[in-house]
Amino acid sequence: AQKITQTQPGMFVQEKEAVTLDCTYDTSDPSYGLFWYKQPSSGEMIFLIYQGSYDQQNATEGRYSLNFQKARKSANLVISASQLGDSAMYFCAMRGAQGGSEKLVFGKGTKLTVNP
């Protein structure tokens, strides 16, 4: 079975500083994908970044980067130059091979608060 663990229920960061949100995963699938989503208070889940298990380089999307350490089974999200609009819940998710399904398994999330 797949499992995602996010150990930080809440994080605080000053505006313009960088912040790292932790995510560890467990799976027996040799091929899998890791995702980060942002959920503002409005409820919509916004896709941020994706890392495939066979990708050699860490994924980056603008101010977002994913620190992928396969041997440690970790996929931490790094947000550079935090903005007030980054305040939201952040979810790490995994998709495995699972016989052709796109099912995502989510962690419990981390609530990020950006202070001015």
Write out the residues near another protein by the rule CB under 8 A. 33, 35, 37, 42-47, 50, 52, 91, 93, 95, 97-98, 100-109
13 vs 34, beta carbon nearer another protein: 34
Cα 28 from Cα 26, distance rounded (Å): 7
Give least dist CB 109 to another protein, A. 7
Q: How far is the CB of 65 from another protein (least distance, A)?
A: 17
Q: Name which of 13 and 96 has its Cβ closer to another protein.
A: 96
Element spanning 26, H or E: strand 24-26
Compute the least distance from the CB of residue 107 to another protein, in Å: 8
Q: How far apart are CA 36 and CA 109, in angstroms?
A: 10
> Between 44 and 72, whose beta carbon lies closer to another protein?
44
